[in-house]
Amino acid sequence: MINMEPNATVRVVLKKGREKPVRMGHPWIFSGAIERVHGHPQAGDSCQVVTAEGSHLGYGYYNAQSVISVRMLSTSNTAFDADALRRRIRHALSLRHNLVSNETDSCRLINSEGDFLPGLIVDKVGAGLVLQILTYGMERFREVIVESLASCCSPEFIFERSDSDARKKEGLPKKEGVILGTVAEQIDIKENGLTYVVDVTSGQKTGYFFDQRQNRKLLRSFVEGKSVCDCFSYSGGFATNALGGGASHVDVVDIKSNAIAWAKENVSRNFPSDHRADFVCADIFKYLRDAPQKWDCIICDPPKFAKHANEVKRAARGYKDINLCALKKLNKSGVLFTFSCSQAVDVRLFRQIVFAAAADSGRQVQLLHSLTAGSDHPINIAHMEGEYL
């Protein structure tokens, strides 16, 4: 086991006036906020963080290779160690205890900064777990993490999907494979009474997007007897819920053929011999512009348009364009479910973008719900970057 006890020789001194976010609980310290570093830390080493005047702020882990040089783990006088990690894992699991039921057997168990464990993501997928370790500091805790998850959850398998670009930015190689047990090529999960097939080995992220669970369920209350278009459908989660809510017809659209095949599979598992759905492999922008028909409800859940702050302007144009296309294709009194999963596009900006598209569409528009991720994706209120959906 790697020793993660604090190294007293590693001391990160902030520039004058740069301590306020840390005092408020923000877990990130960027390289530009650091005045100097005492000691010779290796990537992922524990460090003490102090103000320019030398006042103690807490402990974190340090990585000079990352733009986010320190990720805070403790703001107390007690350093963060393996026992503290185990306690936080147990606490995160306890928060999800009531989410698992006869209708829902899968969810996010650990949500990185939202659970005060920056760089660690764990999803419960059926009877197993999918793990992502995205930072050097969490990589140093690998053995403790796996041992704790195995002990607390007794999973049939643990599969690692640490294949994100975030690892590269940390100076870490991508890592993927079975840690525990045996992983089936396809895994059946239950969500809100419906069944989905998940491919944890090659699907996006950890194989399934649990953050939309409550929004998919909400959709059912708007679609009875209505025509629906599920844009950027991916695995067909919204489409399946639309059919479950009694939609008269659902058009399922994605640019990737494998996504369309996956959506077909999920629809057929829940509604065999049901002919209310059509599946279209197409560019969604072009599809909406060229479509001769209109719909009563459109879901617009595109992939991330802005990965970085310098892509926000281009992303804003894309979000406005797709929402304008969707609004023009809604029947009178139609409902638009629209999302951004770009962390760099905050809630206020996204709302402004959608409102501008509504104004350009020439229609009167009402805001019915402000949607976000479910309670298994908690947000550290000092880290609003975690409010990405």
- Per-residue pLDDT of 316-330, as tens digits, reads 899 999 999 999 999
CA angle 64, 68, 69 (to 5 degrees): 30
pLDDT for 28-63, tens place per residue? Answer: 999 999 999 999 999 999 999 999 999 999 999 999
pLDDT for 336-381, tens place per residue? Answer: 999 988 778 888 899 999 999 999 999 889 999 999 999 999 999 9
Element housing 373 (H / E): none
pLDDT value, residue 8 = 52
Q: Is the dihedral of CA 262, 268, 270, 276 positive or negative?
A: positive
pLDDT over 60 at 243, yes or no: yes
Residue of 156, 6, 171, 164 lying closest to 73 (CA atoms)? 6
Secondary structure letter of residue 374 according to DSSP: -
Q: Tell me what the mean pLDDT of segment 158-164 comes to.
A: 93
CA 133 – CA 13 distance, rounded (Å): 27
pLDDT over 60 at 3, yes or no: no
pLDDT for 197-218, tens place per residue? Answer: 998 887 777 778 899 999 999 9
Helix count and strand count (H, E) for the chain: 11, 18
Residue of 183, 250, 187, 188 lying closest to 216 (CA atoms)? 250
3-state helix, strand, coil split of the chain in percent (to 5) is 30, 25, 40
CA 263 – CA 116 distance, rounded (Å): 34
Q: Is 123 exposed, middle or buried (0-12, 13-18, 19+ CB in 10 A)?
A: buried
- For residue 221, the one-letter residue type is S
pLDDT value, residue 6 = 46
The average confidence (pLDDT) of the chain is: 92
Q: Which two tokens mark 354?
A: 């959608």
Q: Which two tokens mark 353?
A: 């973008």
CA 62 – CA 93 distance, rounded (Å): 26
Least confident of 13-17, 53-57, 163-167, 256-260: 163-167
Element housing 271 (H / E): none
Q: Tell me what the mean pLDDT of segment 92-116 comes to.
A: 94
